[in-house]
Structure 1
Amino acid sequence: MEKNNKDNKSNGKSATHFAQTYFHGTKADLKVGDFIEVGFNSNFGQRKNSKYIFLTATLDAAIWGAELSFGEGPERIYLVEPIGAIEDDPDLTDKKFPGNPTKSYRSTHPFKVIGEVTIWQGHPPEQVKAMKDGLERLKEQGINSLNDFDS
């Protein structure tokens, strides 16, 4: 059966371009239009002023970011738009996880908050505790992040 040739023709419009969606997990209370910038205390590690800020293209990695961040506020996941260049996060890529399966990135440029994911399911409490315990053991062993921090 032959298909009608007119069904295969373009409508003359170009393909729709979809921008990559990025997420940032935290306990910070932000609003649409706010900027996430370097120079503030990190949500992780030694709590020093961070040289980088982080984002991910996977909701699961953003959920981990929210669950593992310091603070007493509610865990939040924001949709963000990077304002400048981003690069692979070396803590989650290269030899540890070849190919960046978590799609985790860092930048020295701000991210603009463009929305918030309000419905998501966190990891089971025992899994979060195991991850926090593992991070604490690394800290006790003096194993720090590959991401540099300003003094």
Structure 2
Amino acid sequence: MTESTPRTPVTYETCASVVGPFFHGTRFTLGVGEELVPGRGSNYQAGRVSNHLYFAALVETAAWGAELASALAGSEGRGHVYVVAPLGPFEDDPNVTDKRFPGNPTQSYRTRDPLRVVGEVDDWPGHDPAVLQSMLDHLAQLREQGLDVIED
């Protein structure tokens, strides 16, 4: 994409043009063939049910998901990054696309359909502990201000 070519948003209607692989980060241990489904508790807010599943085309984005989910739950370890296959249409994640990162450079998406685990990324690079702590501090600050809104 060049600077003169406008970005086409990824919608349920246009998502077929987005090619994986796709990744999902979580604190949970999953097996190949398992399906993640929406309507379960959020990895990021206790007591919140998530209507969507979130995934990305970048391992680094999924790594953030794994590390934050683990840290926020007080879990030991850094979590897991899985290779996933969306089983239905998906769209840009509005929580980051153009809201925080214009143009979706994180390649973050969401779906209301299941994601099938097709593999695990064992050697994903984690973030420096100080960087992770800075992100956790920022999230805590947003929560204190009532600004940790997740559009779901």
Alignment-derived partner of residue 125 in structure 1: 129
What's the TM-score, normalizing by structure 1?
0.81
The structural deviation recorded for 1:73 is 4.8
Alignment-derived partner of residue 8 in structure 1: none
Q: In structure 2, how many angstroms separate the alpha carbons of the residues matched to 1:59 and 1:36?
A: 18
Secondary structure, aligned partner of 1:63? helix
Alignment-derived partner of residue 9 in structure 1: none
Q: Is the aligned partner of 1:28 residue 2:32? A: no
Alignment-derived partner of residue 139 in structure 1: 143
The structural deviation recorded for 1:146 is 3.7
Q: In structure 1, how many angstroms separate the alpha carbons of the residues matched to 2:53 and 2:21?
A: 16
Structure 1: state its 5+ residue gaps: 1-18
Return the match for 1:96 from 94, 100, 104: 100
RMSD: 1.3
Q: 1:57 to 1:49 in 2, by over 3 A?
A: same
Q: In structure 2, how many angstroms separate the alpha carbons of the residues matched to 1:127 and 1:102?
A: 17
Identity of matched residues, %: 42
Secondary structure, aligned partner of 2:139? helix
Return the match for 2:120 from 112, 116, 129: 116
Confirm or deny: 8 A CA contact 2:139 2:148 kept in the other structure: no
Runs of 4+ in structure 1 displaced over 4 angstroms?
Answer: none
The structure whose Rg is larger is 1
Alignment-derived partner of residue 50 in structure 1: 50
Q: 1:112 to 1:133 in 2, by over 3 A?
A: same
How many residue pairs get matched? 130
Q: In structure 1, how many angstroms separate the alpha carbons of the residues matched to 2:99 and 2:48?
A: 26
Structure 2: state its 5+ residue gaps: 1-18
